[in-house]
Amino acid sequence: MPFYNQDLDSGEVPQAAAALRERVAGADRVLAVTPEYNGTMPAVLNNAIDWLSRPYGASALTRKPFAVVGATPTQFGGKWSHEDARRSATIAGADVVPDLVLSHSTLDADVFEDAEVFGRFLGALVSLVEHRPAAEVAA
Protein backbone atom coordinates (compact mmCIF):
# COMPACT_ATOMS: atom_id res chain seq x y z
CA MET A 1 0.00 0.00 0.00
CA PRO A 2 1.48 3.38 -0.93
CA PHE A 3 2.09 5.96 1.78
CA TYR A 4 -0.90 8.18 2.31
CA ASN A 5 -0.89 11.30 0.19
CA GLN A 6 -3.92 13.49 -0.42
CA ASP A 7 -3.02 13.69 -4.11
CA LEU A 8 -3.58 9.91 -4.29
CA ASP A 9 -6.87 10.26 -2.39
CA SER A 10 -8.59 12.75 -4.66
CA GLY A 11 -10.09 10.46 -7.30
CA GLU A 12 -9.75 6.73 -7.67
CA VAL A 13 -7.71 5.58 -4.69
CA PRO A 14 -5.04 2.85 -4.95
CA GLN A 15 -6.62 -0.59 -5.01
CA ALA A 16 -4.97 -1.75 -1.75
CA ALA A 17 -6.24 1.30 0.13
CA ALA A 18 -9.74 0.91 -1.29
CA ALA A 19 -9.77 -2.76 -0.27
CA LEU A 20 -8.62 -1.90 3.27
CA ARG A 21 -11.30 0.77 3.61
CA GLU A 22 -13.97 -1.62 2.36
CA ARG A 23 -12.85 -4.37 4.70
CA VAL A 24 -12.84 -2.12 7.78
CA ALA A 25 -16.09 -0.38 6.85
CA GLY A 26 -17.78 -3.78 6.75
CA ALA A 27 -16.31 -4.98 10.03
CA ASP A 28 -18.00 -4.70 13.43
CA ARG A 29 -14.73 -3.79 15.14
CA VAL A 30 -10.99 -3.61 14.53
CA LEU A 31 -8.18 -5.37 16.39
CA ALA A 32 -4.70 -4.15 15.45
CA VAL A 33 -1.94 -6.65 16.22
CA THR A 34 1.43 -4.95 16.09
CA PRO A 35 5.06 -4.97 17.20
CA GLU A 36 6.88 -1.81 18.27
CA TYR A 37 9.50 -0.04 16.17
CA ASN A 38 11.80 2.53 17.81
CA GLY A 39 9.35 3.40 20.52
CA THR A 40 6.25 3.77 18.39
CA MET A 41 4.02 1.86 16.03
CA PRO A 42 5.52 0.59 12.77
CA ALA A 43 4.99 2.91 9.80
CA VAL A 44 2.81 0.34 8.04
CA LEU A 45 0.21 0.50 10.84
CA ASN A 46 0.41 4.28 11.02
CA ASN A 47 -0.11 4.41 7.25
CA ALA A 48 -3.09 2.07 7.45
CA ILE A 49 -4.70 4.32 10.08
CA ASP A 50 -3.99 7.35 7.87
CA TRP A 51 -5.77 5.77 4.89
CA LEU A 52 -8.65 4.69 7.16
CA SER A 53 -8.99 8.18 8.67
CA ARG A 54 -10.23 9.85 5.47
CA PRO A 55 -12.67 11.23 4.50
CA TYR A 56 -12.47 12.69 7.98
CA GLY A 57 -15.72 12.32 9.93
CA ALA A 58 -17.13 9.78 7.47
CA SER A 59 -14.23 7.35 7.22
CA ALA A 60 -14.14 3.59 7.75
CA LEU A 61 -12.81 4.20 11.28
CA THR A 62 -15.42 6.75 12.32
CA ARG A 63 -16.94 5.47 15.60
CA LYS A 64 -15.54 2.00 14.88
CA PRO A 65 -14.60 0.03 18.03
CA PHE A 66 -10.82 -0.32 17.96
CA ALA A 67 -8.28 -2.11 20.12
CA VAL A 68 -4.59 -2.92 19.86
CA VAL A 69 -2.55 -5.85 21.10
CA GLY A 70 0.99 -7.10 20.77
CA ALA A 71 4.09 -8.64 22.30
CA THR A 72 7.72 -7.62 22.00
CA PRO A 73 11.00 -9.00 23.40
CA THR A 74 11.62 -5.88 25.52
CA GLN A 75 10.54 -5.26 29.10
CA PHE A 76 7.99 -2.65 28.05
CA GLY A 77 5.95 -4.98 25.88
CA GLY A 78 5.41 -2.51 23.08
CA LYS A 79 3.38 -0.14 25.23
CA TRP A 80 4.48 2.99 23.33
CA SER A 81 3.45 1.41 20.07
CA HIS A 82 0.06 0.61 21.57
CA GLU A 83 -0.36 4.04 23.15
CA ASP A 84 0.45 5.76 19.87
CA ALA A 85 -1.83 3.50 17.84
CA ARG A 86 -4.67 4.19 20.28
CA ARG A 87 -4.09 7.95 20.13
CA SER A 88 -3.92 7.94 16.34
CA ALA A 89 -7.07 5.81 16.00
CA THR A 90 -8.87 8.11 18.46
CA ILE A 91 -7.96 11.18 16.42
CA ALA A 92 -9.09 9.30 13.31
CA GLY A 93 -12.52 8.98 14.95
CA ALA A 94 -12.52 5.41 16.23
CA ASP A 95 -14.06 4.40 19.57
CA VAL A 96 -11.01 3.31 21.53
CA VAL A 97 -11.53 2.18 25.10
CA PRO A 98 -8.59 3.72 27.00
CA ASP A 99 -7.67 0.67 29.04
CA LEU A 100 -8.29 -1.84 26.28
CA VAL A 101 -4.72 -2.71 25.52
CA LEU A 102 -2.69 -5.86 25.98
CA SER A 103 1.06 -5.45 25.95
CA HIS A 104 3.30 -8.37 26.77
CA SER A 105 6.98 -8.22 27.55
CA THR A 106 8.15 -11.48 26.11
CA LEU A 107 7.52 -13.42 22.98
CA ASP A 108 8.08 -16.67 24.91
CA ALA A 109 4.79 -16.35 26.79
CA ASP A 110 2.22 -16.56 24.07
CA VAL A 111 -0.42 -13.97 25.02
CA PHE A 112 -2.68 -15.28 22.34
CA GLU A 113 -2.86 -18.67 24.02
CA ASP A 114 -3.45 -17.34 27.54
CA ALA A 115 -7.16 -18.02 27.46
CA GLU A 116 -8.01 -16.05 30.59
CA VAL A 117 -6.06 -12.88 29.81
CA PHE A 118 -6.78 -12.81 26.12
CA GLY A 119 -10.41 -13.82 26.69
CA ARG A 120 -10.92 -10.86 29.01
CA PHE A 121 -9.29 -8.57 26.50
CA LEU A 122 -11.37 -9.79 23.58
CA GLY A 123 -14.53 -9.75 25.70
CA ALA A 124 -14.06 -6.05 26.33
CA LEU A 125 -13.67 -5.38 22.62
CA VAL A 126 -16.65 -7.54 21.70
CA SER A 127 -18.82 -5.71 24.24
CA LEU A 128 -18.25 -2.47 22.33
CA VAL A 129 -20.88 -1.73 19.75
CA GLU A 130 -20.54 0.47 16.77
CA HIS A 131 -22.23 3.78 17.55
CA ARG A 132 -22.82 4.67 13.93
CA PRO A 133 -26.41 5.74 13.21
CA ALA A 134 -28.35 3.12 11.21
CA ALA A 135 -28.96 5.54 8.32
CA GLU A 136 -25.24 6.15 7.99
CA VAL A 137 -24.46 2.43 8.06
CA ALA A 138 -27.01 1.81 5.29
CA ALA A 139 -25.39 4.52 3.15
Ligand X SMILES: Cc1cc2nc3c(=O)[nH]c(=O)nc-3n(C[C@H](O)[C@H](O)[C@H](O)COP(=O)(O)O)c2cc1C
Pick the closer one to ligand X by CB: 37 or 118: 37
Pick one of 6, 11, 38, 108: the residue that binds ligand X (CB under 6 A).
38
**Considering the rule CB under 6 A, would residue 47 count as an interface residue with ligand X?**
no
- CA 120, CA 78: separation in Å to the nearest integer? 19
The DSSP annotation for 57-71 comes to TSSTTTT-EEEEEEE
Pick the closer one to ligand X by CB: 5 or 106: 106
**Sheet containing 30-33: which strands, arranged edge to edge?**
30-33, 65-71, 95-104
Pick one of 8, 9, 13, 37: the residue that binds ligand X (CB under 6 A).
37
**Is residue 92 a contact partner of residue 49, using CB atoms and an 8 Å limit?**
yes
Pick the closer one to ligand X by CB: 15 or 38: 38
Q: Is 27 left (phi over 0), alpha (psi -120 to 50) or beta?
A: beta
**Strands 65-71 and 95-104, how do they pair?**
parallel
**Considering the rule CB under 6 A, would residue 2 count as an interface residue with ligand X?**
no
Pick one of 8, 14, 25, 35: the residue that binds ligand X (CB under 6 A).
35
Pick the closer one to ligand X by CB: 15 or 75: 75
**Considering the rule CB under 6 A, would residue 32 count as an interface residue with ligand X?**
no
Residues that bind ligand X (CB under 6 A): 35-39, 72-74, 76, 78
